Amino acid sequence: MSSVVLCTNVRRDGDLSYTARVKAMLEADGHRVTVSPICGEPEGPASFPTAELERALEGADLLVTLGGDGTILRIAPQIMRHEVPLVGVNLGHVGFLTELDRDSAGLLRQAAAGEYRLVPRMMLDVEIRRNGERVFFDTALNDAVISGLVQNVHLTALGDGKQILNFSGDGVIVSSPTGSTAYSMAAGGPLVEPGAEAIVLTPICAHMLAARSFVLSPERTITVLPADVSEGRRCVLSADGRGMTDLMDGDRVIVTKSGYRLLMAELGTKSFYEAAFEKLGGRA
């Protein structure tokens, strides 16, 4: 018997009816199941007890997210400290991090029995240094995006203190291999296998012909310096899309490989390549 946590995004399963079916299925196999709703309150009282995610993760053997990729990105900084394997069921639109869909949730019985391949996903620590002090810190599974609002911005990107890019444009994306299939790819960056370790630096709409995406060592310290920032020319930082933080002239956005990893429980339903072509566009 294992201890399984169902983390339900109530925006996708408001009345917890789908959650209840998954819970009953796993309990019928003898597993102990705890439900932790996030992103709001369920519609009406649940027919079973629920628990805060932080408390539910104590002693858990498996975490199942019921929602979409955004659900995983939202909770990644919280669950990484527990090192509980995660598998996602997609109840939203196209999901790349969620391996299962609504109709294939029966495979969760396999996951709860421990029949999966554990794939650690590299994460990124993101901070803002202002006048020598840290004023912002977060850990991202996908990416850190430094971008202008309305107008373009001037940015310098450094690797271990050496200049990589200096350009004006819409911004720059610093992504993990997991994030390489998201905004970075849309901006022209490469796809990197999720189990790999690398940092991908991708400019967004750069006003420079030579601006290209770089795949860098995971040990690099990436520093992004915004310039000519003012009230009328805002530049912001967003880590995994969790809000925006305004940057100022003289700020240093520093991105490094995190000491934490997200543990994904992969069931082998599709290879990375099959998933990429299926979810991001068919083969030519």
Residue 126 pLDDT grade (very low, low, confident, very high; cuts 50, 70, 90): very high
pLDDT tens string 76-114: 999 999 999 999 999 987 678 999 999 988 999 999 999
69 is a catalytic site residue: yes
pLDDT tens string 45-64: 778 899 999 999 999 999 99
Among 182, 174, 179, 239, smallest CA distance to 203 is for 174
* Matching residue, tokens 């109840």: 91
For the residues 156-174, what does the mean pLDDT come to?
96
Are the C-beta atoms of residues 34 and 62 closer than 8 Å to each other? Answer: no
pLDDT tens string 237-266: 999 999 999 999 999 999 999 999 999 999
Do 165 and 272 share a domain, yes or no?
no
Do 141 and 215 share a domain, yes or no?
yes
pLDDT tens string 10-52: 999 999 999 999 999 999 999 999 999 999 888 877 788 999 9
Do 29 and 110 share a domain, yes or no?
yes
Say what the pTM is: 0.93
Q: What residue numbers bound the domain in which 244 lies?
A: 123-259
Do 127 and 253 share a domain, yes or no?
yes
Active-site option among 13, 69, 138, 251: 69
pLDDT of residue 282: 60
Strand 153-159 versus strand 222-227 pairing type: antiparallel
Do 41 and 152 share a domain, yes or no?
no
For the residues 221-248, what does the mean pLDDT come to?
93
Total number of domains constituting the chain? 2
Cα–Cα distance, 82 to 211 (Å, whole number): 39
Do 128 and 219 share a domain, yes or no?
yes
